[in-house]
Amino acid sequence: MTTYVLRRLVLMVPVAFLVTVGVFMLIHLTPGDPALIILGEDRSPQAIAQIHQELGLDKPLYVQYVIWIDNVVHGDWGRSITTHEPVAGAITERLPATIELGVVALIWSLLVAIPLGTVAAVRRGSVVDKLATGIAVAGVSVPNFFIGIVLIFVLSVSARLFPFGGYVPFFQDPWESLRHVALPAIALGTAGTAINMRFTRSSMIEVLGLDYIRTARAKGASWRRVVFIHALKNALIPVVTIVGLQIGGIIEGAVVTETVFTWPGVGRLAVESIFNRDYTVVQGVVLLAAFSYMVANLVVDLVYGWLDPRISYA
């Protein structure tokens, strides 16, 4: 197990290298010279040359990369071009809000999807099944910013059940924090909920038809025991794969959702930085997103092994 984790970490090195190269190249692939943004009005060739020298842009590309990666590894993610604050600090400050949003969205989507998918599978063709299918189709088809706007309008502005916008750190006031995160998390998690529900349902239907389910019935296990103990663990194996892929979607969706809900997270930081052509911050955010995705997939693989003992870590 430990060796497996170590081996996976080693295998992540080439991926990480490619990711950092991609992120590093952002500045050189985007049109416009960063020096021009920094300088604003004063655009004398000397000033531009001086900025280039300060930023190391006059050195060969591979030297620039080595300097940059060395800094990144040592926690120096550069400074924001617009605010001159350290990028790492700006991201760390915004990170808790995004983590809370993403985690709550994921938990919400699983909390709804797994029970609903299971019931839909066990009661195939029933009203619950049809209703769940309808909700799933709607959930996948409607973009999350639209769901967000509807939620704000109905539950926040009209019904006044939830506050609109604003973020309260979880450890400061957990209850208020959850009230604030509820709507954005639902908006962000809905598409995933729908997909997870459909996966749970189809996977559950398949598993319930297998021989070992009949064995469990022949032992005298009740339907509930058969469904929740014998079938569910098997049925969740494909669902976990999908959830792993969704983590990327959540990071991506957070950008839109945070903008709609004025949520002070990394996603909105990314949007602001893109508009300001603040490429150092954009680099930082993209780098973080890529690494989160890699780590999330490692975790998914470990959960996979816990669910399915046939997968060997040897």
* Smallest distance, another protein to C-beta of residue 225, A: 7
Q: Which is nearer to another protein, 216 or 255 (CB)?
A: 216
Binding interface with another protein (CB under 8 A): 210-212, 214-223, 225, 230, 233-234, 307-310
When the beta carbons of 60 and 309 are compared against another protein, the nearer one is 309
Name the phi and psi angles at 221, rounded to 5.
-70, 140
Please provide the DSSP assignment of 178-207 as one string.
HHHHHHHHHHHHHHHHHHHHHHHHHHHHHH
Is residue 272 helix, strand or coil? helix
Q: Closest CB to another protein among 153 and 228?
A: 228
Plot region of 220 (φ>0 → left; ψ -120 to 50 → alpha; else → beta): left
CB of 308 to another protein, least distance (A): 6
Q: Can you read off the two tokens belonging to residue 31? A: 């049109």
Bridge partner residues of 86 (DSSP) = 79
Residue 126 CB, nearest distance to another protein (Å)? 13
What does the alpha-carbon distance between residue 97 and residue 89 come to, in Å, rounded to a whole number? 14
| Amino acid sitting at position 262 | T
When the beta carbons of 15 and 205 are compared against another protein, the nearer one is 205
What is the closest distance, in whole angstroms, from the C-beta atom of residue 89 to another protein in the complex?
Answer: 45
Distance CA 249, CA 60 (A): 36
Specify the residue, 208 or 250, whose C-beta has the smaller distance to another protein. Answer: 208
Q: What are the angstrom distances between the C-alpha of 287 and each of 90, 101, 147?
A: 14, 19, 28
Residues in contact with 180: Cβ distance below 8 Å, sequence separation at least 6, in sequence order: 162, 163, 166, 167, 168
What minimum distance in Å lies between the beta carbon of 111 and another protein?
A: 22
Considering the complex, state which of residue 37 and residue 128 has its C-beta at the smaller distance from another protein.
128
Dist CA 263 CA 259 (whole Å)? 7
Distance CA 245, CA 241 (A): 7
Nearer to another protein (CB atom), residue 225 or residue 277? 225
Q: Which is nearer to another protein, 204 or 266 (CB)?
A: 204
CB within 8 Å of 63: residues ≥ 6 apart: 56
Residue in 157, 194, 269, 96 with CA at minimum distance from that of residue 148: 157
Let me know: does 240 contact 307? Beta carbons within 8 Å.
yes
